[in-house]
Each structure stands twice: as C-alpha cells, then as structure tokens.
Amino acid sequence: MKYAQLKRFWHVEVIGVEKKFSWVRLATRLRNKPGLKFIFWWRLASFLYENGYRRIAYRIHSRIKGRFACDIMLGAKIGEGLSIAHHVGVVVTKRVVAGRNMRLTQNSVIGNSGKGKDGSIQIGDNFFLGSNSCVIADNLVIGNNVTVGAMSFINKDIPNNSTVYTRKTVELVERD
C-alpha cells in the first residue's frame, strides 16, 4: 500500500526511526521546525503527484515554495532520509533520482543544464551537498557515500566513497 510508504517517509524524516510512530508525535515534531514542515508537505505533494492528484499536488507545492523559499520539483524521486539544513535557496530538478539519506544545505542546487536534453541525475545513498554548491548536468551519476564540499561546482560523474570540492584560492592585497 502506498500510504504505508508515505507514512514511512514521515517516520524516518520527521520523527526519527528510534521513536515509535504516532500522529501526535508527528504533529509535535512539526511545530516550530520549518525544515521538517517543508519535507512533510513536499512528501505529501509528491505522493499526490505520483498518484494522479496533480492539481492538488501543484497547489501544495506552490504554497510551500513561496513559504519556505525551497523548491524540490514534483517528479523528483528521493529515497527516505531526506534532510535539509537551512532550507532557504535549495533547488532540486524533477530529473533527480536519489537514494537514501540525502542531506542538502542552504543555497544548494541540483539541476539540469537547461539545453533541452533528456536525461537524469542519478544519486546514490548517503549523499551530502555543502552550502552554496551546484550540481548541474543533463546526465550524471553520483555514487554512494559522496560528500560535496561547500561552494563547489559539479558537472562530472563522481565514483562511490568520494569527497569532492572545488579548490579556491584567497589572495590578500595590502593597501597603503
């Protein structure tokens, strides 16, 4: 039953698997936690979208985008364990197919290049995307246990068990 899957997402992502599921506990955890509220409502909208209730799904999605300044497009397939730290500015394309335990941070983008090509961005389990980072491509495979450092740009495949970052240099120029 698909409702069981939605309930499982909420149990893992909002309540935590170490605690028993209850509707009261779910409502309590959502109070004053905007990141969890976004995930809750996005999972509901995504569930409705996948099951043919697209009009309601788009309405919910439009409201949460405006309220939370976070846009994970409907049609993105993300496994259980989604976590968003500081949800502002997060954008994820509908072409994403991600595994379990995806962790996103503020101002991070996973998107396509916008050149009209078909394709998908495949992301394995245990993926972390640092602040102000971009993953942009039309066809891309990112393995399991991958960490992308802050302020990085990724447009190539990444193998399993990798840490990736973009080198930055700081130059100090003294003034008279």
Sketch the domain layout of the chain as residue ranges.
Answer: 1-68, 70-166
| Per-residue pLDDT reduced to its tens digit, 66-122 | 999 999 999 999 999 999 988 899 999 999 999 999 999 999 999 987 766 688 999
pLDDT band of residue 1 (cuts 50, 70, 90) is: very low
Residue 25: predicted pLDDT:
93
CA angle (132 as vertex; 77, 45 as ends), nearest 5: 30
Q: How far apart are CA 108 and CA 139, in angstroms?
A: 18
| pTM: predicted TM-score of the whole model, two decimal places | 0.89
Residue 175: predicted pLDDT:
87
| Confidence check: pLDDT of 148 > 60 | yes
CB 94 within 8 A of CB 85: no
- Sheet bearing 71-72, strands edge to edge: 71-72, 91-92, 109-111, 134-136, 153-154
Structure token pair of residue 151: 């302020």
| Per-residue pLDDT reduced to its tens digit, 150-166 | 999 999 999 999 999 99
Burial of 52 (0-12, 13-18, 19+ CB in 10 A): exposed
| Per-residue pLDDT reduced to its tens digit, 19-78 | 999 999 999 999 888 889 999 999 999 999 999 999 999 999 999 999 999 999 999 999
In CATH terms, the fold of domain 70-166 is UDP N-Acetylglucosamine Acyltransferase; domain 1 (2.160.10)
Structure token pair of residue 36: 């969890």
